[in-house]
Chain A
Amino acid sequence: MTLPRRSVRRGQAEMIGLLLIVIILVIGFLLYVRFSLTKDDGPSAKERFDKTQLGTTFVTSLAKTDIPCGALTAPLQELIVDIASGDTSCPAENAVDSAVTAILHDTLDMMGKNYLLRFVRRTRDDQTEPIGLPDYTNSAYEGRECTPRSDAVAADIYPVPALELAFPVEIRLYLCS
């Protein structure tokens, strides 16, 4: 038994209508998926500013802060040069270590930042090595430890001005998310 020609044509028209509706729904769904996936979940302008400016201002200010060392008081950057050059006119290592520990406790630790602070000297082959001070991190931070190779790390480097040193000394602060 064959269907009349009119019924076949009508069936085809309905199929095309149905197909059109399905296509519209698929396009709508794809648009929805596209907009939900491309929504910018990156750091906001404020977060970016926090990360960059906080680190930059911290290392710059820290370097110029006066630290008591023996009977004298000197900017931290001068004491670092003394440590790097082996000058032991005052126990600079102890003075810097205790001052930096106290400063970090009252600032970046209290702000809940995940960081790594290093005092390094550049070597002949453009690598870095510690000048004799330990690496400072936030021990109270519960999460992945901050390293120079961490994801979403912002590095701030302050080159300590010292013409008497053969290799430049730097204060490096890494702020991780």
Chain B
Amino acid sequence: MTTRNAQIQFGESLMVVIVLVFILIIGLVFYFRVSSVAVMDEQRYREDIMSVRLASSIPALSEIQCGQFTCKGDVCIDRLKMTSLATVLAPTGAYVAQREYYERLFGHATIKLHLVTGDDAGEEFTLYHDPPPADWSRARQYLFTTLCNPVTERQELAYLNVTRYMREVDG
């Protein structure tokens, strides 16, 4: 009779331990899931910020911004300066050191300028193109600007199409 009681009590204790371990495992799984989601959110946020920083930095580059005497404007790109910079950034060009500098600045990205008005409406200039080595995800952003020809002093509406390539975030 005492042996049978002891067996029952042992069985009960074993069940309690199993239930507690089960609850502990569920808790741990839940905790790690919440942590991994938070890490992924943080990574996405950082990628977003990097994309935003890249897109907003382009019109602010003094290399292509309009001058003080012609084509004044907060958001204005000088057509002649932009053409010169595109020549420097061309992958087949001779400006290797300069291109490396901009590759560090922009990373893997494609920056295009699409003309909306004027004689060249519908045309697209590729300012910078550095695709990733693999199939990465991409974040695209549009920013409007005016493209000014300092010779004619005409300002045409254009938009920057900035694509930033990012390593895929799992989940």
Q: List chain A residues, Cβ under 8 A from B26.
A: 28
Q: List chain B residues, Cβ under 8 A from A53.
A: 55-56, 143
A150 at the interface (CB under 8 A from B): no
Contact with A along B156-170 (1 / 0, CB 8 A): 111100000000000
Point out residues on A near B: beta carbons under 8 Å. Answer: 17, 21, 24-25, 28, 31-32, 35, 39-40, 44-46, 49-50, 53-54, 57-58, 60-62, 64-67, 73, 75, 99, 102-103, 106-107, 111
**A45-B45, A64-B73, A103-B117 known; A54+B143 contact, CB < 8 A:** yes
Sample (24) of A-B pairs whose CB atoms are under 8 Å apart: A25-B23, A28-B23, A32-B30, A44-B48, A45-B52, A46-B48, A46-B51, A46-B141, A53-B55, A53-B143, A54-B144, A57-B59, A57-B144, A60-B74, A60-B144, A61-B158, A62-B144, A64-B73, A64-B76, A65-B157, A66-B154, A103-B117, A103-B157, A107-B157
Closest beta carbon of chain B to A114's beta carbon, Å: 15
Contact B142 A103 (CB under 8 A): no
Contact residues of A: prevailing secondary structure: helix
Contact with A along B119-147 (1 / 0, CB 8 A): 00110000000000000000101111110
**A44-B44, A44-B48 known; A24+B23 contact, CB < 8 A:** yes
**In the complex, A76 Cα to B97 Cα: how many Å?**
41
**In the complex, A75 Cα to B117 Cα: how many Å?**
12
**In the complex, A21 Cα to B34 Cα: how many Å?**
23
Contact residues of B: prevailing secondary structure: mixed
Q: Which B-chain residue is minimally distant from A67 (CB atoms)?
A: B117
**In the complex, A65 Cα to B48 Cα: how many Å?**
30
Closest beta carbon of chain B to A61's beta carbon, Å: 4
Q: List chain B residues, Cβ under 8 A from A57.
A: 59, 75, 143-145
Contact B157 A62 (CB under 8 A): yes
Contact A28 B27 (CB under 8 A): yes
Q: List chain B residues, Cβ under 8 A from A31.
A: 30
